[in-house]
Structure 1
Amino acid sequence: MAKNDVTAENAQLKDIIAHAKEYGFVYPSSEIYDGLQAVYDYGAYGVELKNNLKRLWWETMTRLNDNIVGIDASIFMHPTTWKASGHVDSFNDPMIDNKDSKKRYRADVLVEEKAAFYENSGDKETAQNLLNAMARLLEAEDLAGVRELIINEKITCPISGTSNWTEVRQFNLMFSTQVGSVAEDSSTIYLRPETAQGIFVNFLNVQKTARMKVPFGIAQIGKAFRNEIVARQFIFRMREFEQMEMQFFVRPGSELEWYKEWAETRMKWHRALGIPEEKLRRHDHEKLAHYANAAMDIE
């Protein structure tokens, strides 16, 4: 992304943040003490809007579907949960610092922004080749190769304008804390980075007590926490946020059929909110997590 593009994006976000604050929707958290980056409070109107959306989502998800029930799992979970799920070892972002500006960036985001520049310039082939090269390097955990890619592409820091980069390092996104009354006897646990694991570990409990049969779903609304490297984009990238999530369990072999059905159902829900049709688009993922065979975003 060019420096002018970053400046324009920041200026637009400043206007949005100022508007949200002035009209009582979102405030910077602990602002009287200079605030805390990427943490926000919802004001009088913001909390009503948020609660209305949560209530509507919960009603349509659990009350209108006989095979979906809800839970409210704890934020704290046994640390083995996050070891088993791969979060302790693999929930990382590649981090790189510019030595001149002292600013820290996600290495993959820098490359993605360069690819977007190529695509906007009409060179889609180069953009895709760049993304493919980054994907191969990250999959191989070749962080030195990622740094070399950034330098070869002449990607510079938006602040300093230089390419004086450090080595690329992995940065775990989970917040850790201590549980126990005495520091020496305490053990490390984590603030959950997602709400899904609370659903997974309670699968049998819910299935038995709610007398559910596959296919069925478990829904949850709750807080999650991620120690983002680059805190930006207002409430679109927060360190403390709330998720509305439903995990739907199906028989092996029927997952793609259910995937298509739920993809259309969720798109209909967003349309029902009153969002104009032309403002919604479906983005199918090309790069999939190791446990997925299909994924999409509604943008």
Structure 2
Amino acid sequence: MPSLPVPTQTDAVIQNQTTGAVDFLKYQGTQIVASSLHDYGIGPAWKIVANGDFNGNGTQDLVAQNQTTGQLDFLYLDASANLVGSFMTSFGLPDVHGQGFFGTAAAGQNGPALISQLSDGRIDFLAFKFSGGSEIFSGSDLVEGTLGFPTLVGGGTQTVNSSMFSGQGTGFSGSVITQLSNGELDAVGFTGDIANGLFVSRTLLMPQTIGAFPVKVVNPDFSGGGQTTSSDVAGPAGTFGVQLLTQSNAGLGDVLYIDSGYGEPAANNTIGDLYASQTLTSIPGWNFVEGSFVAQELFPIV
């Protein structure tokens, strides 16, 4: 596919390594042009790992996870990203790396499923439903065939019935992204849904991403909080791309754009190709984290 234009605006979220404070950012090109700093009092032991409308009030929320106990803290926010409530689980869970829509595990599930990974590489999808001010654990799907998978770095959904990359799955099938030790990315598609069982349908290695920084967020600008929101970067002639936000250990950010395979003839066979990137201003002492659904409320993508 031809190279698509890189969007001038990028929304991102960073978390301070020392205080745990969260800053929602708007980039114009490579420069930060707006921010909204919030300290939710969670401290550095809690990492922001997911976002979505988990209490069903129409605004986007954050999920933090304690890096020692594995407990989750759902941070309910208003439209200005102010904290209006929270709920902490009494139990720990495997490391969560983002969210996605894979069907619903039980009636009352408002937000997306959380995507977690066990120490042996297996991927587990976790569903919660909001009731009486609490998040009730309503389902888990530990996917067979994922033992030994590389590091999980995030998930996303093209639409309610489509994965991020064309032809990767059927049913309520989002996708996840894993990253090998050499930086190469692998997109994993599924068939089925979280209620009846998810199964790996296809993986897509992307050799052009070898050497990439660790991925921190999948589709930061385009994985909208709603199940039917496109997760693609629009391009000319109906083509689309998937956006990935990466960061070096020194704090340097880089946005990658990868061909999703949607909106182009199958004969082009460029799905998974890296067609553009954009280096962002370095922010030492801060980590990019999930939370772009919230950032989009503050700084709508135009």
| TM-score bracket for this pair, using the shorter chain length | under 0.3
**Of the two, which has the highest radius of gyration?**
1
TM-score normalized with structure 2 length: 0.24
Larger relative helix fraction: 1
Larger relative strand fraction: 2
